C-alpha cells in the first residue's frame, strides 16, 4: 500500500465532521422530503416519536439535532435533550439507567414541548435493550419524546416501530455531496483540482460523513486535493484502471484482465477493494463507458461476487473468477449481436 508522508500543513484540532456539523436545516443537503417534514414539526412544535432510517452519512442524526436546536435553543437543550450513540451505549443497563433516569427527571419546559432523547444506531442495540427502551417510551410518553436513527430498520423491534413516525433517508447525489464539500473547501481555503473533488465524491459513494473525512485526511496528508492524493489516502484502486479492466472484459482480453488483477493484488488491494470499486463504477457509468447490452449482466455478476466476498471469502481467486465470468458474458453477448 502507498505510504503517506505528512506535510507541514496547519491542521485544526477540531475534526471537520464536528466543525461543520449542521446546526440548522439550511446546512443540510439532500433528502428534502424528510427534511421538510421535520421543518413542519419545528414550526408546529408538536414532536412525535421518530425513526430515521437509511445508509450512514445521509444526515439522519444531524437533521434531528437541527430540529432540536430550532425547538429548544442552546441553553434549554442542555437540560431537555439526551443524545446517545446506541452502538457504544447499547446495554440493557445503560438504557435503564441513563435513559430512564433522564425520562424521570423533572424539567420545566415551554407549553407543548417534552424532553427529547436522541438515540443513534439503534439497530446495533441488543434485543433486551430494545425491549427496555420500548417500555420506557410507553411509560414516559407524556413527558418524553424519542428520535431513533438506524441503518437497517428490519433490526428494530416491531413494537417500537408501531409507536413511531418513520422517515426514510437515501444516499446523497454527487451534486449534493459536492455542494457541501465546496462550502468546506472555501471556508478552509483549500487548493483542489476538479478531478480531486470528483475523486472524493467517488470514494464517499453518497456518504457525506465519509466525504468530509476523506477531504480532511487528504488535506492533512498533502495540503492539496488532487486525484492522486485522494486515492493514496483513501487506499482504493484507481477507478480509471478498474474501468479499463472492465472494458477489457468487454473485449474479452482474458490474459490482460488476469494480469490487471495480479497487479492490483501486488499493489496491496483486497478482493473487496477491487470489487467495490467495480460496483461504484457500474452504478455511475455512462453508456459511453459500459454499453447498455452489457450493463445489467455485468452489474449482477459483480453484485453476486461482492456478496460472496462480504460473507468471508476474500481472495484473489474470487476476482479472477469474476473477471473470467465477465469475459464469458461479453463474448456471449458479442456473438448474439453479430448473429
pLDDT in tens, 179-198: 999 999 999 999 999 999 99
Overall number of domains in the chain: 3
The SS3 of residue 20 is coil
What is the domain-level CATH number for residue 108? 3.40.50.300
User: pLDDT value at position 256?
Assistant: 95
Long-range contacts for 254-263 (Cβ within 8 Å, ≥24 apart)?
Answer: 254/324, 254/327, 257/323, 257/326, 257/327, 258/320, 258/323, 258/324, 260/323, 261/316, 261/319, 261/320, 261/323, 262/316
Mean pLDDT of 74-97: 79
Q: Based on the fold, state whether residues 181 and 257 are members of the same structural domain.
A: no
From the list 307, 22, 33, 285, the residue with the least C-alpha distance to 170 is 33
SS3 breakdown of the chain: % helix, strand, coil, rounded to 5? 60, 10, 30
Residue 44 lies in a domain: yes
Give the CA distances from residue 323 to residues 19, 248, 275, 301, 304, in Å, rounded to whole numbers and listed in that order.
Answer: 43, 9, 10, 9, 12
Q: Based on the fold, state whether residues 162 and 230 are members of the same structural domain.
A: no
257 close to 325: Cβ distance less than 8 angstroms: no
Mean pLDDT of the chain: 90
Which three cell numbers mark 207?
Answer: 456518504
Which three cell numbers mark 151?
Answer: 441503518
Distance CA 150, CA 205 (A): 18
Q: Based on the fold, state whether residues 249 and 182 are members of the same structural domain.
A: no
Does 2 have pLDDT greater than 60?
no
- State percent of the chain over pLDDT 90: 76
Strand partners, 51: 148, 166
What is the domain-level CATH number for residue 296? 1.20.272.10
Distance CA 30, CA 211 (A): 14
Find the domain containing 213 and state its range: 174-234
CB burial class (10 A; 0-12, 13-18, 19+) of residue 50? Answer: buried
Residue 153 lies in a domain: yes
250 close to 330: Cβ distance less than 8 angstroms: yes
87 close to 121: Cβ distance less than 8 angstroms: yes
Residue 158 lies in a domain: yes
Q: Based on the fold, state whether residues 51 and 145 are members of the same structural domain.
A: yes
Q: Based on the fold, state whether residues 158 and 22 are members of the same structural domain.
A: yes
Q: Based on the fold, state whether residues 162 and 21 are members of the same structural domain.
A: yes
Q: Based on the fold, state whether residues 89 and 67 are members of the same structural domain.
A: yes
200 close to 164: Cβ distance less than 8 angstroms: no
Question: Which of 161-170, 218-227, 305-314 is the least confident region?
Answer: 305-314
pTM of the model: 0.84
Q: How many residues does the chain have?
A: 339
Give the CA distances from residue 72 to residues 41, 51, 77, 90, 199, in Å, rounded to whole numbers and listed in that order.
Answer: 13, 20, 5, 26, 39
What is the domain-level CATH number for residue 187? 1.10.8.60
User: pLDDT value at position 90?
Assistant: 59
Residue 1 lies in a domain: no
pLDDT in tens, 242-296: 999 999 999 999 999 999 999 999 999 999 999 999 999 998 887 778 888 899 9
Mean pLDDT of 79-99: 79
Amino acid at each position: 500500500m502507498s505510504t503517506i508522508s505528512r506535510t507541514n500543513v496547519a491542521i485544526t484540532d477540531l475534526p471537520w465532521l464536528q466543525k461543520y456539523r449542521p446546526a440548522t436545516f439550511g446546512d443540510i443537503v439532500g433528502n428534502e422530503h424528510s427534511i421538510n417534514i421535520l421543518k413542519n414539526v419545528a414550526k408546529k412544535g408538536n414532536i412525535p416519536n421518530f425513526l430515521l432510517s437509511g445508509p450512514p452519512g445521509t444526515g439522519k442524526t444531524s437533521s434531528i439535532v437541527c430540529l432540536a436546536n430550532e425547538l429548544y435553543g442552546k441553553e434549554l437543550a442542555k437540560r431537555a435533550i439526551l443524545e446517545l450513540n446506541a452502538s457504544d451505549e447499547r446495554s440493557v443497563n445503560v438504557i435503564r439507567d441513563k435513559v430512564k433516569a433522564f425520562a424521570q427527571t423533572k424539567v420545566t419546559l415551554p407549553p407543548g414541548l417534552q424532553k427529547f432523547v436522541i438515540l443513534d444506531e439503534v439497530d446495533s442495540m441488543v434485543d433486551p435493550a430494545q425491549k427496555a427502551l420500548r417500555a420506557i417510551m410507553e411509560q414516559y410518553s407524556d413527558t418524553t419524546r424519542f428520535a431513533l436513527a438506524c441503518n437497517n430498520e428490519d433490526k428494530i423491534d416491531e413494537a417500537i416501530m408501531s409507536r413511531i413516525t418513520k422517515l426514510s433517508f437515501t444516499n446523497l447525489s454527487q451534486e449534493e455531496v459536492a455542494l457541501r464539500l465546496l462550502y468546506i473547501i472555501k471556508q478552509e481555503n483549500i487548493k483542489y483540482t476538479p478531478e480531486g473533488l470528483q475523486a472524493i465524491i467517488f470514494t464517499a459513494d453518497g456518504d457525506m460523513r465519509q466525504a468530509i473525512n476523506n477531504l480532511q485526511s487528504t488535506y492533512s496528508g498533502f495540503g492539496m486535493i488532487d486525484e492522486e492524493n485522494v486515492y493514496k489516502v483513501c487506499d482504493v484502486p484507481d477507478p480509471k484502471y478498474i474501468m479499463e479492466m472492465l472494458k477489457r472484459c468487454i473485449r474479452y482480453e482474458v490474459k490482460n484482465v488476469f494480469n490487471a488483477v495480479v497487479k492490483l493484488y501486488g499493489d496491496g488491494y483486497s478482493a473487496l477493494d477491487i470489487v467495490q470499486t467495480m460496483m461504484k463504477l457500474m452504478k455511475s457509468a455512462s453508456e459511453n463507458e459500459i454499453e447498455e447490452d452489457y450493463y445489467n449482466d455485468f452489474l449482477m455478476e459483480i453484485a453476486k461476487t461482492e456478496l460472496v466476498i462480504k460473507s468471508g471469502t476474500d481472495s484473489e481467486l474470487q476476482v479472477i473468477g469474476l473477471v473470467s465470468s465477465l469475459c464469458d458474458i461479453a463474448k456471449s453477448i458479442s456473438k448474439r449481436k453479430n448473429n
